Amino acid sequence: MAGEDALPVFSLSSLGFGFSSASSPPPPPPPPCVEVLPSEVSASLSSPLESIPINDKLSLLKGRVNTGDVFAMPNSDLVPGKYEGGLKLWEGSVDLVNSLCSEVQGGRLSLLGKRVLELGCGHGLPGVYACLEGAAAVDFQDFNAEVLRCLTIRNVEHNLRKGRPRLPEGNPQNEGAQQVRFFAGDWREVHRLLLRRADDGGGRHLPGEASSEEHGSLSSSSSSRCYHVILMAETMYSLSSLGNLYDVIKKCLRRQTGVVYMAGKKHYFGVGGGTRQFLRLIDEDGVMEGSLLAEIADGSSNVREVWKISFKSPA
Ligand SMILES: C[S@@+](CC[C@H](N)C(=O)[O-])C[C@H]1O[C@@H](n2cnc3c(N)ncnc32)[C@H](O)[C@@H]1O
């Protein structure tokens, strides 16, 4: 990546923001796809986590967790194929929470009883918001299991301890039924773990064999695991992974009724991705379409956007 002036700014953190050089060697094979259990929360953090209010319901547990401590590699925002930026809170995740709040308050979105997936979750604030708004199930996905163990699980537990998730009115038997799970893995293959039922055999790791869905047919059990809502913030920065990101969405989102809420920068200098590049891909595919919910040009970074992406109505 080019020099300092080409870097997207990360304004919520005093830490800098930068991607590795575009001329780096090809990335190593991705880490294995695995479910991370809440009990695997990392016990060893060098400094305490600080609680920062985001809105009246949600707070961020922010730690000084760096790539040096967690991955034993030089501190960096991105090491392609090894670490993809999840240890920092990026401003798009707060933009996304703000837009979700307006959608819910405006009656245009209800998360009650929904199956929700947050892709590329990092701290997982949008997914935590979905938990608090009464989603029936929220799955958090990150490239790195370490991010889930260090930050995501802690943020979920911290917020759910403080605030009671909204419950459907007149349906008290729903109490305690919310399911929250954590999955690590590359978008190229993590759908196979996400779409597998908890009780359909195998361990918490992805087995080596191909699934039927990879050959084009989703089994009815895996399609019932598809999500009503997919959330993602600042996941579309790299041109080279946009195709895999779109594929995992198409495999995991409920046909016709599913919606994606996406926040990110219009353009990421040096790595070529951005909201507009991702929307171009969607447009070319012709199955889904986006509508702009918010544009944030506060000078803290290049322009950021929040989009809602849904299936086109059948002609
Ligand atoms: C820039 S971080 C954003 C983190 C968080 N959403 C936020 O806004 O604070 C990008 C996220 O996408 C995930 N990610 C990037 N490339 C990925 C890939 N190829 N497969 C799976 N996850 C990936 C990273 O693990 C990371 O959580």
CATH number of the domain at 55, please: 3.40.50.150
The pLDDT tens digits of the residues spanning 216-249 come to 445 666 678 999 999 999 999 999 999 999 999 9
Q: Average of pLDDT values for 92-97? A: 96
CA of 120 to the centre of ligand 1 (A): 4
- Residue 46: which pLDDT band, with cuts at 50, 70 and 90? low
Q: Which of 142, 251, 262, 301 to mutate to test the pocket of ligand 1 (most atoms within 8 A of CB)?
A: 142
Buried-state track 248-285, b at ≥16 Cβ within 10 A, e below 16: bbbbbbbeeebbbbbbbbbbbbbbebbbbbbbeebeee
**Cα(240)–Cα(38) distance, integer angstroms:** 31
pLDDT in tens, 120-154: 999 999 999 999 999 999 999 999 999 999 899 99
CA of 297 to the centre of ligand 1 (A): 22
State how many domains the chain has. Answer: 1
Q: Is residue 2 scored above 70 in pLDDT?
A: no
Q: Select the highest-mean-pLDDT range: 29-33, 165-169, 262-266.
A: 262-266
Q: Which domain holds residue 42?
A: 4-311
Give residues (CB < 6 A) around ligand 1: 84-86, 89-90, 92-93, 120-123, 142-144, 186-187, 233-235, 241
139 forms beta bridges with 117, 181
Work out which ligand 1 atom sits closest to the CA atom of 126.
6
